[in-house]
Structure 1
Amino acid sequence: MIEWLDDVWSRTRTVQFVEGGEDGGPLRDRTVLAELSDPAAVDAARALTTEGRFLGDICRCHGGPTILLRNAEGQVLASAGIHGHGSVSWQRSRFRDDLAVTDPAALQLFLAEQGVPDQLATFLPPLADLLGLHETNPQFRPAGEAGRRYLAERGVPDVLHPVLVTVTGQQSGELTEAQIDDVRHRLKTAMPSPTGRATILLSWLGRLPIPAEAFCGEGILVRRLLADLALPDVSTAAAGTRTGHVALGVVNLVMHSGDNGTLAAAVGPTLRQLFPPPSTADAVP
């Protein structure tokens, strides 16, 4: 298989990332998500998708997106499905041997920065593990004084505590537009800087337990507040505050709002700091 990979990559002039996995239908009908023709970018894609350890087996999901290698005439030389965080399956039906890539964080960030959607989402499990944010009981923050400590632990600005202690975390995601306007006004008055608000909101979002509170409870409220901010302000906040919580907040936001690669580029250095390249001693042979 290694010899086969060397051969097809030596003849590759264009790399495409197309929508869908092994169940995505004919390759010619797929939407092209990103295309690389610059030799340096093609070389980077090759290194990130072929260096690692073969597992001798395949996962049971269909994967996606799919990598296509094309020669100078535009003919498809090979294809591979991307499976989760750092697994690539080259010509799966032929070889049935997934590759665990050496540097999964670099691969997923590379894809995200090219505009391939949903790649930052693969960082959710490792970030949740790193930060200890898998939910326990209660799933949602309680209301009243019992819930006040949760607000403090999550870095929620004091100015919002009088409003939020009256509702549970789950009810925070169900606030009316008038209630949201009140929260928005309080926050803006206390923190006039859009970048400052973005930093606080991303960190708050990245401190919510996964999945219920982060996706269905307070997470809804925080994402509604972030929606009022311009992308450059959110991007500046993401780039300027290199913490795991802000990084997870960005991942949560992108999972619900999408990204054209701007937020991926902004949070990339933080994710590389949290998930650095393997050392020579730890590298997968």
Structure 2
Amino acid sequence: MIEWLDDVWSRTHMVQVVEGGEDGGPLRDRTILAELSDQAAVDAARVLTTKGRFPGGICRCHGGPTIVLRAAGGQVLASAGIHGHGSVSWERSRFRDDHAVADPAALHLFLAEHGVPDQLAAFVPPLADLLGLHETNPQFRPAGEAGRRYLTKRGVPHVLHPVLVTVTGQQSGELAEAQIDDVRHRLDAIMPSPTGRAMILLSWLGRLPIPTEAFWGEGILVRRLLADLALPDIATAAADTRTGHVAMGVVNLVMHSGDNGTLAAAIGPTLRQLFPPPSAADTVP
């Protein structure tokens, strides 16, 4: 398989990333998500998808999106489905052996920064492990004084506590617009800078337990507040505040609102610091 990969990559002039996995139908009919024709980008894609190890089996999912290698004349040379965090399956029906890439963080960031959607979602499991964000009981923050310590732990500004302690975490995701305005005005009063507000909100969002509170409940509230801010301000806050919680906040936000590659680039250095490249010995196929 390594010899086959060397051969097809040596003849590759363009790399496409298309929608869907092994069950996505003919490659020619799929939406193109990214197209790499620059030689440096093609070379980078080759390294990121072929260095690693072959575990000797496949996962159960169909994967997606799919990487397509094309020759100078446009003909398809090979394809590979992406299967979760750092797993690439080259010609699965033929080889039946998923490839565990050596540097998963670099692969998913590379794809995200080239506009391939949903790649930052691959960082949810490793970030949740690293930051200890897996939920326990209760799933949602309780209301009243019992819930105040949760707000403090999540870095929620004290000026917001009087509003939020009156509701549970689940109910905070269901606040009426007038209540959201109250929270918004309180936050604006203590942090006039949009970049500063973005930093507070991203860190808050990135401290919520995975999955319930982060994706529903209080996570809805924080994302509604972030929706008021311009993308450049959010990107600046993410780039300047290089913490795992802010990175997780960005991942959460992107999973619900999408990204054109701007936010992926903003947290790229943070994610590379948290998940550094492997040693040279681990990159040998």
Q: Normalising by the residue count of structure 2, what TM-score does the alignment of the two structures yield?
A: 0.99
1:93-145 Cα distance to aligned partner (Å, 9 max, x none): 00101100000000000000000000000000000000000000111111100
1:9, 1:67 → 2: CA distance? Answer: 12
Amino acid across the alignment from 1:138: P
Q: Which residue of 2 aligns with 1:118?
A: 118
- CA shift for structure 1 position 189: 1.2
- CA shift for structure 1 position 282: 5.2
Q: Which residue of 2 aligns with 1:247?
A: 247
2:200, 2:127 → 1: CA distance? Answer: 18
Corresponding residue SS for 1:100: strand
Amino acid across the alignment from 2:201: L
Corresponding residue SS for 1:56: coil
Unaligned runs of at least 5 residues, structure 1: none
Say whether residues 1:136 and 2:136 are aligned partners. Answer: yes
Say whether residues 1:168 and 2:168 are aligned partners. Answer: yes
- CA shift for structure 1 position 283: 5.0
- CA shift for structure 1 position 190: 1.3
Q: Which residue of 2 aligns with 1:188?
A: 188
1:281, 1:131 → 2: CA distance? Answer: 27
1:278, 1:10 → 2: CA distance? Answer: 25
1:199, 1:32 → 2: CA distance? Answer: 34
1:141-163 Cα distance to aligned partner (Å, 9 max, x none): 11100001111100001110000
2:99, 2:150 → 1: CA distance? Answer: 41
Amino acid across the alignment from 1:217: G
1:27-68 Cα distance to aligned partner (Å, 9 max, x none): 101000000000010000000000110111111100000000
Paired residues of 2:52 and 2:282 also in contact (CA < 8 A): no
Q: Which residue of 1 aligns with 2:72?
A: 72
2:122, 2:284 → 1: CA distance? Answer: 20
Corresponding residue SS for 1:46: helix
1:222-252 Cα distance to aligned partner (Å, 9 max, x none): 0000000000000000000010000000000
Corresponding residue SS for 1:278: coil
Amino acid across the alignment from 1:31: T
1:197-224 Cα distance to aligned partner (Å, 9 max, x none): 0000000000000111001110000000
1:247-280 Cα distance to aligned partner (Å, 9 max, x none): 0000000000000000000000000000000123
Which structure 2 residues correspond to residues 28-43 of structure 1 after superposition, within 5 A? 28-43=28-43
Say whether residues 1:218 and 2:214 are aligned partners. Answer: no
1:52, 1:283 → 2: CA distance? Answer: 5
Corresponding residue SS for 1:252: helix
Considering only aligned residues, what root-mean-square deviation do their CA atoms show, in Å? 0.9
1:163, 1:71 → 2: CA distance? Answer: 60
1:282, 1:72 → 2: CA distance? Answer: 32
- CA shift for structure 1 position 172: 0.3
Corresponding residue SS for 1:80: strand
Q: Normalising by the residue count of structure 1, what TM-score does the alignment of the two structures yield?
A: 0.99
Which structure 2 residues correspond to residues 1-285 of structure 1 after superposition, within 5 A? 1-280=1-280, 283=283
2:281, 2:129 → 1: CA distance? Answer: 23
Corresponding residue SS for 1:238: helix
1:70, 1:282 → 2: CA distance? Answer: 28
Amino acid across the alignment from 2:144: G
Unaligned runs of at least 5 residues, structure 2: none
1:69, 1:210 → 2: CA distance? Answer: 36
